A and B are shown apart, each in its own frame.
Chain A
Amino acid sequence: MAERTAWAPPVGGRVWFGGAVVALLVVAALGAPLLAPHDPLRQDLLSALLPPAWAAGGDPAFPLGTDSLGRDLLSRLIYGARVALIVAVVAASLAALLGTVLGLLAGFLGGWVDTAVSRLVDIWMAFPPVLLSIVLVAVIGAGLHAVIIAIVIIDWTRFCRVVRAEVLVQREQDYVASAVTIGLDRRHILVAEILPNVAPLLLVLLTLEMGIAVIVEAILSFVGLSVASGAPTWGGLIAEGRLYVYQAWWGMALPMACLIVVVLGFNLLGDGLRTAFDPVMQR
């Protein structure tokens, strides 16, 4: 058994890389008006489809080139980070909240509550998630809030399943039995004794879910169901860039690169945290 004398920081390349990417995303999103060289919506038809500044025919005023309407790609990417961050944080947190509450109750109470929640999860998982999200957004009406609601409705099951399974393990532990012998009530045992033991796992899941939420948002904005068209989102940029991909590859490739790096960042962070928490979880 690994005995540790002090809390060791979760060091590791994955955590550092993932953390750096996420930090960059946060800085870009919060500082968009300061960082972006141009208004992301301003059109300049005379400089349409300019290549990045380093390529032949590039204009230093537009570091990453422009799109078909002459809008600055770098500025649009930076503003697109805002949508990505909002969706990552809000949708993943709400999905975590819903799934965790149901998972805790199902695992702890057992009986019909567990049966009901577990069957609901089974049914939920039978739907193809991307199609379901498109249908949901179409029903709710396009927009950022609809995207967030759709992600929460689809992805709470990830949290629910894992939390329920972990609660089933934890509630058989002796510390729960001794909390009962002390006379603590069930609510206290669930919230103050079991939940902290599930928390590391939850943090890992939350981080991974943020990456997934960013992808789902990109998919929905790619098919035009996210934020009102015109406002920059990475999925929307990919969709627009696709039309001119033979003349201007950068219009599609650069937003895709942003998406890939950010999702990779979230996944590596989650993965690294999982490893970092391992000694605690495997005790």
Chain B
Amino acid sequence: MNPTLEIDGLHLDIAARDRRVAVLRGVDLAVAAGEVHGLVGESGAGKTMVGRAVLGLAPESAAVSGRIRFAGGDLLGLPERARRALLGRGMALIPQDPLAALNPVRRIGAQIADMLRLHLRLGRRAAAARVLELLGDVHIRAPERVVRQYPHELSGGMRQRVLIAIAFSCRPRLIVADEPTTALDVTVQRRILRLIRELNAGSDTAILFITHDLGVVAKICDRVSVIHAGRIVEAAPVGEIFAAPRHDYTRALLRATPRHDRPANALAPIPAALAARLADEAAAFDRRRAEAAADG
């Protein structure tokens, strides 16, 4: 079966003042229907940009090339309008900061209902009823009260549940979850992960789960791609990544992740030699690309 999302050789450059900075250097990635696919990397590796490029929300100064196939069609070839039309119904986002992502002066119910009325063409009454069901699905108690509240009146975990309800509301083919638990404390984080898992189970919605936290990956993902300096260095089922990491960087990343079953002094930063080698590789890649562009 064709994967829901298939990324081939995705490049993304951002225009800096006088030059172009490569952010993604040929990302390859495939997410099957129903799969939760982790995209792991350190800050600045380009993981958020992958999500943005998929959703068509890359910054205006960015040049995107390569191929992104979604449900069989090529996304990068589509005109802006057609891409916008996919948002919400075809693909949705669970954002990182749930407070910022909700409009501070609109009631929760109205913000969820927007989605239903726009994409499912529900009337006011039907949308209101469905909103209550959706809030129930994400285990919010007293949804009748919550729909009338404003975002600042909810806890961080509740806000994220609301955003998850919005993302899942129209049963999209793909959900990009951009560090959805980073802003939450650890116990809330676990419940949110369990919720995403639960909503995903039995549906064929694919999830691209962007995170820097291998602990989160272990709990929720089926497959993992490790990204570094804009390239995927390793992709494997989640069990293999933890049991037998192949790439040096993946091994280093695993050693740099705190685990409750190991003493704190077992933590090791990414070795300087490895970081330097990877940086050299990235620089060499940029040089080759610049030369190719100059020749062409």
Q: Are A184 and B118 in contact (CB under 8 A)?
A: yes
Binds A, one of B7-15, B87-95, B129-137, B222-230: B87-95
For the complex, give the distance between the alpha carbons of A177 and B102 in Å: 10
**A61 close to chain B: CB less than 8 A:** no
Cβ-based interface call for A249 (8 A): no
Contact with B along A252-280 (1 / 0, CB 8 A): 00000000000000000000000000001
User: A residues 168-183 with Cβ under 8 Å of B?
Assistant: 173-175, 177-183
A183-B100 in contact given A3-B152, A283-B152 (Cβ < 8 Å): no
**Which residue of chain A has the shortest Cβ distance to B176 in the bound complex?**
A181
Q: Is A196 an interface residue (CB 8 A)?
A: yes
Residues of A within 8 A of B114 (CB): 179, 182, 184, 188, 192
B194 at the interface (CB under 8 A from A): no
Residue A119 is within 8 A (CB to CB) of chain B in the complex = no
Q: Which A residue's beta carbon lies closest to that of B150?
A: A7
Task: Check B95–A283 contact: CB distance below 8 A.
Answer: no
A42 at the interface (CB under 8 A from B): no
B57 & A174 in contact (Cβ 8 Å cutoff): no
Asked if residues A182 and B166 are in contact (CB atoms below 8 Å), the reply is yes
Q: How far is the CA of A199 from the CA of B103 in the complex (A)?
A: 13
The answer to whether B92 touches A181, judged by C-beta atoms less than 8 angstroms apart, is yes
Q: Which residues of A contact B100 (CB under 8 A)?
A: 173-175
Q: Cβ of B57: which chain A residues have Cβ within 8 Å of it?
A: 177, 180-181
Proximity string of chain B (114-126) to chain A, C-beta cutoff 8 Å, 1 when within and 0 when not: 1100110000000
When the two chains form their complex, are residues B55 and A181 in contact, meaning their CB atoms are under 8 A apart? yes
Q: Do A178 and B95 touch across chains, with their CB atoms under 8 A apart?
A: yes
* Chain A contacts for B153, CB-based, 8 A: 4-5
Per-residue CB proximity of A188-215 to B under 8 Å, as 1/0?
1000110011010000000000000000
Nearest A residue (CB) for B85: A183
User: Which of B89, B105, B166 sits near A280, CB closer than 8 Å?
Assistant: B105
Residue in A179, A182, A197, A283 whose Cβ sees the most chain B Cβ within 10 Å: A182
- When distances are taken between beta carbons in the complex, the residues of chain B under 8 Å from A283 are 104, 152
Complex Cα spacing A196 to B89, Å: 26
Least distance between A126 CB and chain B CB atoms (Å): 33
| Residue contact B97 to A174, C-beta cutoff 8 Å | yes
Residues of B within 8 A of A181 (CB): 55, 57, 87-88, 92-93, 95
Q: Is there contact, CB below 8 Å, between A183 and B89?
A: yes
Q: List 10 A-B contacts (CB under 8 A).
A: A177-B101, A178-B95, A180-B57, A181-B95, A182-B87, A182-B115, A183-B88, A183-B115, A184-B118, A280-B104
Chain A positions near chain B (C-beta within 8 angstroms): 3-5, 173-175, 177-184, 188, 192-193, 196-197, 199, 280, 283
Binding site for A on B (CB under 8 A): 55, 57, 84-89, 92-93, 95, 97, 100-106, 114-115, 118-119, 152-153, 163, 166
Task: List 10 tightest A-B contacts by C-beta distance, closest first.
Answer: A183-B88, A174-B100, A183-B87, A178-B101, A181-B93, A175-B103, A196-B105, A174-B101, A182-B88, A182-B115
